[in-house]
Amino acid sequence: ADQNLLGYFATLTPRAQNSTSGPGFTPEPAFSLPGGVYTNSSLILTLTGPPEATIRYTVNGTVPTNTSPVYSGAITFTTNLTIKARAYPSTAGLWPSPVVARSFILLDPSAANFSSELPVLIISTEGRAILENVLAGGQRTKGSLVVFDTIRGRSSLRDPPHFLGLADFEIFGQTSAGWLKKPHNIEIQDELGNDKAVSLLGMPAEADWKVRNPFSDKFLMGDFLGHELFEKMGHYSLRRKYVEVF
């Protein structure tokens, strides 16, 4: 919460979350480009907002506040970027707009034509190192998650992603965190950093996901097969998919 914002809501929401848009709120800023996966070497992004409003933005995954940088012109970038923007009114009696976020993934030419018989995930932290074994309440590394499911038996980074959204990432495990292929916790989030349950690869909607790496399982099937057989014996077993990860 931004403690510098004080006022009254135009719409009452008893026993429910306060409104973040609608009457009494500034309209949200618009992006000149949709978020997505691009093969361009660079992109130019412009933001437009309502008249007499100031757009403030962040590129580090945090929520914009009234002390965040002011948008003043086109933004050119050559690497992955997640930008969150919010319009702040100059008119008294209005709240700032909803936070709007877009993620842009710029594929390296060597990966642009990659395809697989498995679904593909892209974990993008925009150059930030993924922290290990974060304590409860600690801040995980912010970034974006992209998911390409298979279509007619193959996935391709050239296809529209089945999911592209904000996420926090963490490497977990005492021993396995030191392996070359590291396991990751993934928490999918909304623009405000709250958990956001989504369905991935046909599995039930959830905000928290794990990418496991049985690195010592050299034939890459033991862990998966154990869950599969346990389920076939009539027991509950976690849902699972083989994936490739960038």
Burial of 11 (0-12, 13-18, 19+ CB in 10 A): exposed
Side-by-side strand order, sheet with 36-38 = 36-38, 100-106, 81-89, 53-58
Mean pLDDT of 102-116: 96
Distances (CA, A) of 4 to 59, 67, 99, 224: 21, 10, 16, 50
pLDDT value at position 52? 86
Q: What is the pLDDT of residues 215-224, one digit of tens each?
A: 778 788 888 8
- Confidence at residue 5, expressed as pLDDT on a 0 to 100 scale: 66
> Over the range 215-232, which residues count as b (16 or more CB within 10 Å of their CB) and which as e?
beeeeeeeeeeeeeeeee
**Has residue 236 got a pLDDT over 80?**
yes
Please report the sign of the dihedral spanned by the C-alpha atoms of residue 48, residue 53, residue 54, residue 56: negative
pLDDT for position 137 = 85
On the question of pLDDT at 131 being above 70, the answer is yes
Residue 1 above 70 pLDDT?
Answer: no
Cβ–Cβ contacts within 10 Å for residue 144, how many? Answer: 25
Give strand ranges (E) for 90-140: 100-106, 115-116, 120-124
Q: Sorting pLDDT into bands at 50, 70 and 90, what band is 7?
A: low
Chain-centroid distance of CA 235 in Å reads 33
Helix, coil or strand: residue 197: coil
∠ Cα 165 39 34 (to 5°): 40
Mean pLDDT, residues 168-176: 92
**pTM above threshold 0.85:** yes
Give the pLDDT confidence of 20-40 residue by residue, as tens digits.
Answer: 777 778 999 999 999 999 999
CA atoms within 13 A on the CB side of 19: 18
Q: Check residue 217 and give its pLDDT.
A: 80
Question: What is the model's pLDDT at position 219?
Answer: 80
Q: Give pLDDT, residue 2.
A: 61
8 burial type by CB count under 10 A (0-12 exposed, 13-18 middle, 19+ buried): exposed
Bigger pLDDT: 3 vs 213: 213
Q: What is the pLDDT of residues 116-128, one digit of tens each?
A: 999 999 999 999 9
Average pLDDT, the chain: 91
pLDDT score, position 242: 94
Alpha helices in the chain (DSSP H): 222-232
Q: What is the pLDDT of residues 140-150, one digit of tens each?
A: 999 999 999 99
Question: Which of the four pLDDT bands, split at 50, 70 and 90, describes residue 46?
Answer: very high
Q: What is the pLDDT of residue 243?
A: 95
Q: What one-character DSSP code corresponds to residue 196?
A: -
Task: Dig out the tokens for 11 from the structure.
Answer: 């719409």
